[in-house]
């Protein structure tokens, strides 16, 4: 990803220094177990750590790149440079292993490292949503269906809805991390013919992974498909919340607004503009992350025990999906934390349509006074349509409708237009959402 949409703590995971460090640890831990099994000399395994356990400086990385330019194989280039560090005893490195053992295990380590950051991001976003939800728990605002006024909700309830959605996403991400955290040290075509399965178990334990039950020559890519699919779902939820904010910031609505800092400018041409640029940006980034789920799914169908058609895909989507999602989650958390909320405007909009939002309650009350549902609907709707045509407010019109007044006493009718009726169970919902 370009620096504009990247955070250093995530990009570091995908830099060559971290990748080669993980490769080294895979090889060194495998050598330790091979020495314990008597396959290689104990002293040789010790020398791998003593001479090879150094930072992967730019000079070392450049050397690996130089070798790879000649041999056209990244793992061989890595092993060549390592042998230059370790010396003659390096001949015992990579015993019985194949390149995929290193590449696949490393990729899964990087994905788990990235996921740990994403989980921290999710926690920050959830904390922001919870804080703002409780702040606005009792702030009434218009609920909409099809973009049209429906019935009252509270803004806190809106945010609680998104909190619950992202809590589900966090659970999905935990499960995705669990599924992706596997290790394969099984050798060519995955039969362990030239390396004992206990080596895989040892390396897995050292790296915080689990042995892959059956790895052919690669770790099965359905795991990765599921992982990137979860990232895509999280991205969709980011867009869901971003779209809500964008709609509510429209000039005609203006119930909320992204924080507009001093000195910020919204348009090169129109000095008055205050645009929802952050949430628009998040909508775009969400599209990008989602787009990476499809190639991950197409990677599942590899030829026989392995091919490398997945490799070029993963070298791109691994960094790009996690770096982009990390940036997007942190940007969204910041948007929520600093969101400007206008309760007065929410109240103004609630009263904008002359009481139409109470139509269902009138309908239901008529049925309780003995009117059929069909007739009740017809009576309320004909009055509601007059409100749409700016011929009065709903309560006043209903008070002049004999079909209504013949059934519902005036005091009962007026009581139906109580906003609190619609928010009486907000506490119950909050208890459900935030019970943990």
CA dist., res. 333 & res. 244, Å (int) = 15
Instruction: Examine the domain organization and report whether 293 and 337 are in the same domain.
Output: yes
CB neighbour class for 190 (10 Å; exposed up to 12, middle 13-18, buried from 19) = buried
- Same domain (yes/no): 135, 245: yes
The CATH number linked to 19 is 1.10.275.10
The residues carrying an active-site annotation are 146, 267
Give the model's pLDDT for residue 271. Answer: 84
Q: Are 322 and 7 contacting, i.e. CB atoms less than 8 angstroms apart?
A: no
Secondary structure string (H, E, C) spanning 111-153: HHHHHHHHHHHHHHHHHHHHHHHHHCCCCEEEEEECCEEEEEE
Residue 402 CB neighbour total at 10 angstroms? 8
Q: Can you tell me the distance from the alpha carbon of 31 to that of 101, in angstroms, rounded to the nearest whole number?
A: 14
| Chosen domain end from 92, 113, 138 | 92
Full residue range of the structural domain in which residue 30 is found: 3-92
Q: How many structural domains is the chain composed of?
A: 3
With respect to residue 424, please indicate whether it lies within any of the assigned structural domains: no
Encoded tokens for 146: 């099809």
Tell me, what CATH number does 383's domain have? 1.10.40.30
Question: Rounded distance, CA 357 to CA 292, Å?
Answer: 42
The CATH number of the domain holding residue 158 is 1.20.200.10
pLDDT of residue 1: 63
In this predicted structure, what is the pLDDT of residue 268? 82
CB atoms within 10 A of CB 9: 12
Q: Which residue, of 298, 329, 347, is where some domain finishes?
A: 347
| pLDDT string in tens for the chain (436-residue length) | 678 999 999 999 999 999 999 999 999 999 999 999 999 999 999 999 999 999 999 999 999 999 999 999 999 999 999 999 999 999 999 999 999 999 999 999 999 999 999 999 999 999 999 999 999 999 999 999 999 999 999 999 999 999 999 999 999 999 999 999 999 999 999 999 999 999 999 999 999 999 999 999 999 999 999 999 999 999 999 999 999 999 999 999 999 999 988 888 887 888 888 899 999 999 999 999 999 999 999 999 999 998 998 999 999 999 999 999 999 999 999 999 999 999 999 999 999 999 999 999 999 999 999 999 999 999 999 999 999 999 999 999 999 999 999 999 999 999 999 999 999 999 999 999 999 7
Same-domain pairing of 395 and 274 = no
Co-location of 124 and 87 in the same domain: no
317 in the same domain as 181: yes
> How far apart (Å, rounded) are the C-alpha atoms in residues 420 and 259?
30
**Smallest Cα–Cα separation from 203: which of 74, 88, 36, 19?**
36
Q: Are residues 291 and 154 in the same domain?
A: yes
Q: Based on the domain organization, do 40 and 167 belong to the same domain?
A: no
> 139 phi and psi, to 5 degrees?
-90, 105
107 and 46 in one domain?
Answer: no
User: Same structural domain for residues 341 and 405?
Assistant: no
Same domain membership, residue 360 and residue 339? no
d(CA 402, CA 333): 53
**CB-based contacts of 194, cutoff 8 Å, min separation 6:** 95, 96, 187, 188
337 and 380 part of one domain = no
Instruction: Report the alpha-carbon distance of residue 200 to residue 16 in Å, rounded.
Output: 24
Residue 433 lies in a domain: no
Helix boundaries (H) for 338-419: 343-350, 359-368, 373-388, 394-399, 402-405, 410-415
pLDDT at 385: 97
* Same-domain status, 366 and 313: no
Could you identify the residue written with the tokens 């069909």? 374
Q: What is the pTM of this model?
A: 0.94
Residue-level pLDDT at 265:
85
- In sequence order, the 6+-apart residues with CB closer than 8 A to the CB of 318 are 14, 107, 110, 111, 114
How many CB atoms are located within 10 Å of the residue 276 CB?
22
Q: Is 243 helix (H, G, I), strand (E, B) or coil?
A: helix
| Residue 131 domain flag | yes
């Amino acid at each position: 990803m370009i620096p504009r949409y990247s955070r250093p703590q995530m990009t570091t995971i995908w830099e060559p220094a971290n990748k080669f460090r993980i490769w080294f640890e895979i090889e060194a831990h495998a050598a330790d177990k091979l020495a314990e099994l008597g396959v290689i000399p104990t002293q040789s395994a010790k020398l791998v750590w003593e001479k090879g356990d150094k930072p992967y400086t730019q000079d070392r990385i450049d050397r690996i790149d130089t070798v790879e330019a000649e041999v056209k194989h990244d793992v061989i280039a890595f092993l060549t440079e390592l042998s230059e560090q370790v010396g003659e005893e390096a001949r015992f490195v990579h015993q019985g292993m194949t390149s995929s053992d290193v590449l696949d295990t490393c990729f899964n380590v990087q994905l788990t490292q990235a996921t740990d950051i994403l989980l921290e991001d999710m926690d920050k976003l959830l904390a922001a949503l919870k804080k703002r939800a409780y702040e606005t728990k009792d702030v009434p605002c218009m609920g909409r269906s099809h973009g049209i006024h429906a019935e009252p909700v509270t803004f806190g309830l809106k945010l609680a809805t998104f909190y619950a959605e992202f809590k589900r996403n966090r659970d999905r991400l935990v499960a995705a991390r669990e599924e992706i955290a596997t290790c394969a040290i099984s050798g060519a075509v995955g039969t362990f013919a030239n390396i004992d399965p206990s080596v895989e178990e040892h390396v897995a334990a050292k790296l915080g992974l689990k042995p892959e039950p059956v790895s052919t020559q690669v770790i099965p890519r359905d795991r990765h498909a599921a992982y990137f699919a979860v990232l895509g779902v999280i991205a969709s939820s980011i867009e869901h919340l971003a779209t809500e904010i964008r709609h509510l910031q429209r000039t005609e609505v203006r119930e909320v607004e992204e924080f507009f800092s001093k000195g910020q400018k919204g348009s090169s041409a129109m000095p008055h503009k205050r645009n929802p640029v952050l949430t628009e940006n998040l909508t775009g980034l969400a599209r990008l992350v989602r787009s990476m789920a499809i190639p991950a799914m197409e990677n599942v169908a590899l030829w026989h025990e392995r091919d490398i058609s997945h490799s070029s895909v993963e070298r791109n989507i691994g960094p790009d999906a996690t770096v982009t999602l990390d940036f997007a989650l942190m940007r969204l958390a910041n948007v929520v934390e600093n969101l400007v909320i206008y309760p007065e405007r929410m109240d103004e909009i609630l009263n904008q349509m002359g009481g139409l939002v109470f139509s269902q309650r009138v309908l239901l009350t008529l049925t309780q006074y003995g009117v059929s549902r069909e007739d009740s609907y017809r009576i309320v709707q004909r009055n509601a349509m007059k409100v749409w045509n700016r011929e009065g407010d709903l309560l006043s019109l209903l008070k002049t409708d004999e079909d209504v007044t013949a059934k519902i006493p005036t005091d009962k009718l007026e009581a139906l237009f109580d906003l609190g009726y619609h928010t009486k169970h907000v506490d119950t919902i909050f208890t459900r959402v935030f019970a943990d």
